[in-house]
Amino acid sequence: MKSFKFVLLFVLFLLLNTTVCYYIDCDNGDDDNGDGSLENPFQTLDYVRDKIELAESDQILILAGCTTHLTKRWYIGVGGTESDPLTISTYGDIEKNGKATITGGSVTILASGASHFVISNLIIKDTEATALSANNANHVLVENVEVYRGHKNCMVFTQGSYVTVRNCVASVCPNNGIYFGGSETDRISHVIVEYCLAENVTANDGIVVHEDGSGNPAGSDFIIRHNHAQFCGEQGYDITTGVDIILYNNTSYHNTQGGITLGHSADNVTVLRHFSRDEPTQDTAGAIIVSIPTARVAYSIFVGNSYHMSTIPTDSNVENIVFENNLFLPYGSLRGATFDVGAGNFNLGVYNNIFGSLDDQPQNRHIRLMNTEISKFDFNNNIYWNNNPEDTRQFLIKPDLYDFVEWQDYFDSDSNYTNPEFVDLLNEDFYLKPNSPAIDKGLERGLKEDYSGSKVPCSSSSFPDIGAYEYCDVSDSDNDNDNDVDSANSLEWNLLILFFLIYFFI
């Protein structure tokens, strides 16, 4: 009887588990006589698109190394479940033969609120429309997907929630790389973009959170981390809508109009541990542009021979902006001011930054304030330095130019004009020497990690250092040789472990 019940349960499981895998082998498959099984695969993705009505949790698997051509856009309207998402991926030996490739038509998810999609381990290129898009889809994972030469955008996501784009490439698309768009309803929210490369976007931006054409915003909770954007026609990271956004540990290089722009309806954006080099490449704006109500930029490094390095445009929608523990290091003859602030009535805090230079070329300005209303501005505990020590008149409060002593009549009473003493400036080692005047001279700002991930403060002092790197006296405090100062608790725990090892094994 028990055996009979077990058989019934097993049969019920098989009936309920209706997931079907459709296999595609471009060389050995057969659309006319195949059934899509692993033993008798189809030959083309066109056949699956035209002849197969996908059901919930189905899987479409294309053989590694195979190139399949879509003659038109493929619309997918059904999803999966949390345990069995609808999946489009590569099967076989990817390491040996490479990912499967889709060309021609684009892959489009029109989900109408359906959930659980995985698109992974594919190359999509030379498409006649946006290569990969999802509209009103929830719980979408796009992972290890490379997109090249999409007709308009590489990837587009609108509406829906819980979208993750991980370890992807978006390259040589004319409009945008990885784009998240606003909408009137069901605004896209809870997004993670990580370990992606956006490059050679010819007209616009690399990684984008943007209003739609009617000015409708995106939703909230975006985490954009560990990405790189380069050679884009506008910005590397265009964050112009959405609320509660974190950009963490990203890099940008040689983007035409700058590395990051924060504008329009975006708000409450935090930029941490960003590295920007040689941007913008045209005389406009800055490496980072901030024109939103609330933003914080901390422990980031901006290096380059460009225009402004940081810009708050005139008449921006700015209320409370903070820059803290950043490095601003131009070289050559910077064509604009390192830190440029337009006119407006807002709060601005600038703390624990180093404004320097990589060479002895005269800089235009360290600071340019085009705002005659400066009572809400607070600059303090910063270090300013130019390797040409005679060139100190680098502070402008419209319309007058000041040297550092005169500047201190307005700001920076606890700041210094002095060499910050980097370990090796010429080779861009921006750690601090033991004799650096930046050590223990910063304001406590509640941040717990520096640019490298070392804890803040790193010394026995209760004050952080000025700049992007904390100085850690490894010889005195790093007992476990991890280049970080050990806390009393960790030392006690190590001693306790050592005691038990000695007690039980000796």
| Position 112 in a domain | yes
What one-character DSSP code corresponds to residue 382?
-
| Position 156 in a domain | no
**Alpha carbons 326 and 469: distance in angstroms, whole number:** 9
pLDDT at 5: 44
pLDDT at 245: 98
**Alpha carbons 241 and 253: distance in angstroms, whole number:** 23
How many other β-carbons are positioned within 10 Å of the β-carbon of residue 143?
17
Burial classification of residue 389, based on how many CB atoms lie within 10 Å of its CB (0-12 exposed, 13-18 middle, 19 or more buried): exposed
**Alpha carbons 434 and 406: distance in angstroms, whole number:** 30
Note the helical H segments in 119-228: none
Q: What is the full per-residue pLDDT of the chain (506 aa) written as tens digits?
A: 555 444 344 433 333 446 899 999 999 999 999 999 999 999 999 999 999 999 999 999 999 999 999 999 999 999 999 999 999 999 999 999 999 999 998 888 887 788 999 999 999 999 999 999 999 999 999 999 999 999 889 999 999 999 999 999 999 999 999 999 999 999 999 999 999 999 999 999 999 999 999 999 999 999 999 999 999 999 999 999 999 999 999 999 999 999 999 999 999 999 999 999 999 998 878 999 999 999 999 999 999 877 889 999 987 899 999 999 999 999 876 667 899 999 988 999 999 999 998 887 766 788 999 976 899 999 999 999 987 666 666 899 999 999 999 999 999 999 999 999 999 998 999 999 999 999 999 999 999 999 999 999 987 778 999 999 999 876 544 444 344 444 434 444 344 444 444 444 44
Closest of 475, 365, 383, 378 to residue 430, by C-alpha: 383
**Alpha carbons 180 and 264: distance in angstroms, whole number:** 15
**Alpha carbons 497 and 396: distance in angstroms, whole number:** 59
| Position 353 in a domain | no
Side-chain-side CA neighbours of 90 within 13 Å: the count stands at 26
Cis preceding linkage at 399, omega within 30? yes
What one-character DSSP code corresponds to residue 39?
S
Closest of 489, 484, 490, 488 to residue 470, by C-alpha: 484
Closest of 239, 286, 287, 232 to residue 262, by C-alpha: 239
How many other β-carbons are positioned within 10 Å of the β-carbon of residue 55?
12
- Count structural domains, the chain: 1
Domain hosting residue 107, numbered range? 15-125
| Position 47 in a domain | yes
| Position 75 in a domain | yes
| Position 22 in a domain | yes
| Position 110 in a domain | yes
The 10s digit of each residue's pLDDT in 335-375 is 678 999 999 889 999 999 999 988 877 667 889 999 768 99
Contact (Cβ atoms closer than 8 angstroms) between residue 227 and residue 259: no
pLDDT at 363: 67
| Position 276 in a domain | no
